[in-house]
Structure 1
């Protein structure tokens, strides 16, 4: 997968399409899906892997594995031309990451200073918000873009 994944100047999803794959072992999912996601997020800065068209048994196995790691990955149903029909997270985020993800999802595009201002009553500074947003981008859940000195973050996919 690494050899055939092109680099990109603009952020783009890389769909790992599981159409007609009825079973996948945890070791396969660990190495092929999560391993590729982690490699892509570290080495291919604008490539954001997501799984697509998972059969129920594969979705269950992946969910069990990523939950045990305290991790999550985008999953979606693709239609013709790789159009995303519906999207959701597989796995689980810790409460701080979940609230940050939900705020980014609600806003569409968000920055750490905006989150600090929006949730001023929580007394969480922009640096802490930036760390949370960056962690979600490392997981491939949010797309990170630079705007001058500030980074903005937006969900890779939209939850249907």
Structure 2
């Protein structure tokens, strides 16, 4: 888990870029399995869209670019900070997972901040409902008119955006939610 800058107000693109650099430096390697990286905003009262764009959304993109097994998750957002996340997500046509994370590590109130196209939203919702899915399973259970390739493309697209976790077992790939309620997210 990474804590925000421990300041009640996080503002400005330049400060966001500096925070992005600090976040990268504080990441201790790549885990063996795909895992959420909680970015804790517990003590933050205000965070501007420019700050979040240059820090959190840049980190989310960077983690996917380097094929990290870490997936950025914004934790403990107050209403004001949530609204700024939504503004950035809308402007970038992107999304991020948000949740409440207790001091004891309990996860609750998992939400998607941002919008997906309807087919991606259905795929995202199915992965979160089933807790584990692959393209063949989704085709067999939900895709009478959809080809396996279409399900595979949507799953891969969601994973590339950091919205679901991708796992490989031999040549097969399967997907899980980034955050699973009721456990430590792994």
C-alpha contact 1:71 1:92 (8 A) present in aligned 2: yes
Matched, 1:8 2:31: yes
Q: Any stretches of 5+ residues in structure 2 without a counterpart? A: 1-22
Deviating runs (4+, > 3 A) in structure 1? Answer: none
The partner residue of 2:104 within 69, 81, 91 is 81
C-alpha contact 2:34 2:69 (8 A) present in aligned 1: yes
Matched, 1:100 2:100: no
Q: Distance in 2 between matches of 1:113 and 1:102?
A: 16
Matches within 5 A, 1:127-142: 127-142=149-164
C-alpha contact 2:94 2:115 (8 A) present in aligned 1: yes
- 44 and 4 in structure 1: CA distance in 2 versus 1, 3 angstrom threshold: farther
1:148 maps to 170
Matches within 5 A, 1:59-74: 59-74=82-97
- What is the number of residues matched between the two proteins? 159
Q: Cα RMSD over matched residues? A: 1.6
Q: Distance in 1 between matches of 2:181 and 2:82?
A: 17
Could you report, residue by residue, the CA deviation over 1:92-131 in whole angstroms, capped at 9, with x for unpaired residues? Answer: 1110110111111121100011112223422x22222111
Q: Distance in 2 between matches of 1:15 and 1:132?
A: 24
* 3-state SS, counterpart of residue 73 of structure 2: strand
Could you state the TM-score of these two structures normalised by the residue count of structure 2?
Answer: 0.80
Matched, 1:28 2:51: yes
1:49 maps to 72
Q: Any stretches of 5+ residues in structure 1 without a counterpart? A: none
Q: Distance in 2 between matches of 1:20 and 1:80?
A: 13
Could you state the TM-score of these two structures normalised by the residue count of structure 1?
Answer: 0.92
Q: Distance in 2 between matches of 1:159 and 1:69?
A: 27
* 3-state SS, counterpart of residue 25 of structure 2: coil
Note the C-alpha offset of 1:44: 4.7
1:19 maps to 42
